[in-house]
Amino acid sequence: MARVAVIILNWNGRHLLGEYLPSVIRNTNPALGRVVVADNCSTDDSLALLADGFPDVDVIRFSENYGFAGGYNRAIAQVEEEYVVLLNSDVEVAPGWLEPMIALLDGDSGLAAVQPKVLAWKEKKRFEYAGACGGYIDKWGFPFCRGRILDTTEKDEGQYDDVAEVFWCTGAALCIRRDVYLTCGGLDERFFAHMEEIDLCWRLRNRGYTLKVEPESVVYHLGGGSLPMNHPRKLFLNYRNNLLMMYKNLDAANWRRVIWWRRLLDSAAFALFLLKGQWANARSVWKAYRAFRKLKKEYTEGTGNRKDKCIYKKSIVYAYFIRKMRRFSDLQQGWR
């Protein structure tokens, strides 16, 4: 039996499967990994395409659409391999993409998950927004990456080609131990979408596991396939889920420190949206806080703190907008 299940979650993504699945099949050694498509009750002809064009791909069929988190949780529970890869349907993989990540996991029992270097499919010499070369957060919970700070991505010039410990691994191409994933509870289905992988990685780190990026493994992500960056729905989910993620993973004392400053920063964002006449975006911030207050009742406060060495001890927003830092390598101070 293969040691790795490469699981692609699909919902009405026939065109993406036709474009990207061939590279996954071609560049995944069948002696190491098998390719699985988990279908979230598609209503297009995705299943017909798989049956006719990719008969060797294993298919898990769901009777309803469980979303990103729910679909992966159910699919991973059904496979038996030692490792699983959560791979977006809009990802092209390079030759030899899987072996370096598995070698890294095999060599360190305390390592829970690994991500590859993620480059943009449309501009293959530039890092892609969703994960780049490994993820981090700052002291107020704002995520950024090696190769991507806020909305600015860097050109890949080999500057981050070393294996590095990271705070979070991208959900676009997440290679993780199956037993650890299940024991930790998998992805939080109440998030619906956005930041659920950061929440999972934070829970793993709170349990003492490490996470790394292996740049020798390379994938190309199309990205932007769901909602545009400043779409009101995406803003709502990002603000709400970021608050939930911090509430779940920080202890009470650290949560109180963070939420005071986050209210201040998010109020400034709310006011800026109003000044720009972006009423829907301003409403999204307000709705996110209202939804958070309601949903947080379903959780208990966390036990973690902000002393994790992969949490940037300063403000990435301040570094970006005030100090004009656009590259991860500019962040020389603030890690201890």
- pLDDT single digits (tens) 126-160: 999 999 999 999 999 999 999 999 999 999 999 99
In CATH, what number is assigned to the domain containing residue 106? 3.90.550.10
Is 319 a domain residue?
Answer: no
Q: Are 68 and 130 contained in the same domain?
A: yes
Structural contact between residues 61 and 39, judged by C-beta atoms closer than 8 angstroms: yes
Please choose, from the candidates 127, 115, 126, the residue with its C-alpha nearest in 3D space to the C-alpha of residue 173. 115
Query: CB within 8 A of 148, min separation 6: which ones?
Result: 127, 128, 129, 132, 154, 328
Strand partners, 168: 135
Coil, strand or helix: which one is 165?
Answer: strand
Structural contact between residues 62 and 40, judged by C-beta atoms closer than 8 angstroms: yes
* Arithmetic mean of pLDDT, 195-216: 97
Average pLDDT, the chain: 95
Q: Are 118 and 170 contained in the same domain?
A: yes
- pLDDT single digits (tens) 186-201: 999 999 888 999 999 9
- pLDDT single digits (tens) 65-123: 999 999 999 999 999 999 999 999 999 999 999 999 999 999 999 999 999 999 999 99
Which residue, 198, 221, 244, sits at the end of a domain? 221
Q: Tokens 């098998």 map to which residue? A: 34
Is 332 a domain residue?
Answer: no
* Arithmetic mean of pLDDT, 4-31: 98
Is 322 a domain residue?
Answer: no
- pLDDT single digits (tens) 31-61: 999 999 999 999 999 999 999 999 999 999 9
Structural contact between residues 121 and 131, judged by C-beta atoms closer than 8 angstroms: no
**Number of domains present in the structure of the chain:** 2
pLDDT at 170 (0 to 100): 98
Q: Are 217 and 239 contained in the same domain?
A: no
> How much of the chain exceeds pLDDT 70, in percent?
98
Is 111 a domain residue?
Answer: yes
- Domain span including residue 54: 4-221
Coil, strand or helix: which one is 93?
Answer: strand
Measured distance CA(244)–CA(226) in Å, rounded: 21
